[in-house]
Amino acid sequence: MKPIVIQQDKIWHVLLIVCAVVVLFFIQPAAIAQEDPPRPISLYVYPSQGLMFGAILQGTTGGTVTVYPDGSRSATGDVTLISLGITYSPALFGIEANPGTLISILNGPDATLTGSNGGAMTLQIGGSDPISPFVCTLPRPTRNLIWIGGTLIVGTPLASPSGSYSGSFSITFIQE
pLDDT tens for each residue of 102-123: 999 999 999 999 999 999 999 9
Contact call for residues 130 and 147 (beta carbons, < 8 A): no
**pLDDT at residue 23 above 60?**
no
Tens digits of per-residue pLDDT, 72-100? 999 999 999 998 888 999 999 999 999 99
* Secondary structure string (H, E, C) spanning 73-129: EEEEEEEEEECCCCCEECEEEEEECCCCCEEEEEECCCEEEEEECECEEEEEEEEEE
How far, in Å, CA of 56 to CA of 64, rounded? 10
What pLDDT does 60 receive? 92
Average of pLDDT values for 171-175? 93
Global pTM exceeds 0.95: no
Cα–Cα dist 60/78, whole Å: 7
Flag whether pLDDT at 19 surpasses 70: no
Q: Report whether 62 contacts 78 (CB < 8 A).
A: yes
For residue 31, pLDDT over 60 is answered with no
Residue 151: pLDDT above 90? yes
- Indicate whether 18 pLDDT > 70: no
* Phi/psi at 49 (5° precision): -130, 70
Q: What is the pLDDT of residue 119?
A: 92
Does the pLDDT of residue 20 top 90, yes or no? no
| Average pLDDT for the chain | 86
